[in-house]
Amino acid sequence: MDLENICKKSIDLIKETALYISYESESFKTEAVESKGVHDFVSFVDKTSEKKLVAGFKLILPEAGFIAEEQTETFKGEKYNWIIDPLDGTTNFIHGLAPFAISVALIENDEIILGIVHEITRNETFYAWKGSKAYLNEKEINVSKAGKVADSLIATGFPYYDYGKLPQFMNSIDYFMRNSHGLRRLGSAATDLAYVACGRFDAFYEYSLNSWDVAAGAFIVKQAGGKLADFSGSDNYIFGKEIIAANSFIFDEFLNITKKIFNENLLK
């Protein structure tokens, strides 16, 4: 399988879909928003974008199935599946805020072999395929070289509906505010991970995320030299609904802090 060629074709499709989203953003009305749950929104833009992506990926790799956020296509492939978030950062989009992105990963059985995050407002495409480096608009990228958490800028995301770990999360905000260069919350997990991959952020953590939020970005971080885990340190970060990502220099320290806060609740 020529993954580089598939990646290039996929980027063309994603950019074409991004043009549609950009066009709709100029005249989008909040009255068009539907609610899937508390703080969980969707619009015709999400659904139409997903349909465009699904139709295009069927041509690029006909045997592949789909794990798509809006479930406009539910066919599962025996070997290959696309994991699609047609508009990551919907809340930002409906309020006219940046960033928002398209996130697409391709998995072979249980292994991610391709990832693309296209941040629409800055027209930035982050991508990688199995065996490749990580790239931003055709230029190679790498994670940062920050050597300790105290020297790091950290990204996170607020829980939308699962508040079961909210006390621990608030403790984490307190800790990192006091013991790092600061925290940022952009509202798009796919973009957060892409920014870790290119060194704008040194680390990222969040819980209550779905596979389509993190699959592409996590793969790009890995190909850019970063490390990933769930909050317990295992590798169930794609489907396990919690993820940390960091450069290799601070990863162990960052993981140990996250473990203590979320699993042992020792840090105050």
Quote the percentage of the chain above a pLDDT of 70: 93
* Same domain, yes or no: 103 and 39: yes
Task: From 141, 159, 177, give the residue that closes a domain.
Answer: 141
* Same domain, yes or no: 169 and 72: no
Residue type at position 252: D
Task: From 84, 114, 141, give the residue that closes a domain.
Answer: 141
| Partners of 154 in beta bridges | 183, 203
Domain count, the chain: 2
* Same domain, yes or no: 20 and 135: yes
* Same domain, yes or no: 34 and 128: yes
DSSP state of 73: -
* Same domain, yes or no: 154 and 101: no
Range of the structural domain that residue 191 is part of: 149-264
Task: From 141, 157, 180, give the residue that closes a domain.
Answer: 141
Q: Which two tokens stand for residue 208?
A: 């209550």
> Assign residue 123 a region: left if phi > 0, alpha if psi is -120 to 50, beta otherwise?
left
For the chain, which ranges sit under pLDDT 50? Answer: 38-39, 268
pLDDT of residue 173: 97
pLDDT of residue 37: 52
* Same domain, yes or no: 157 and 109: no
Supply the mean pLDDT for the chain: 93
The CATH number covering residue 135 comes to 3.30.540.10
pTM of the model: 0.94
The CATH number covering residue 180 comes to 3.40.190.80
pLDDT of residue 265: 59
* Same domain, yes or no: 136 and 190: no
* Same domain, yes or no: 255 and 174: yes
* Same domain, yes or no: 73 and 161: no
* Same domain, yes or no: 26 and 103: yes
Which segments of 160-227 does DSSP mark as H helices, in order?
Answer: 166-179, 189-197, 211-223
* Same domain, yes or no: 213 and 128: no
Q: Are 115 and 95 in contact (CB under 8 A)?
A: no
* Same domain, yes or no: 173 and 116: no
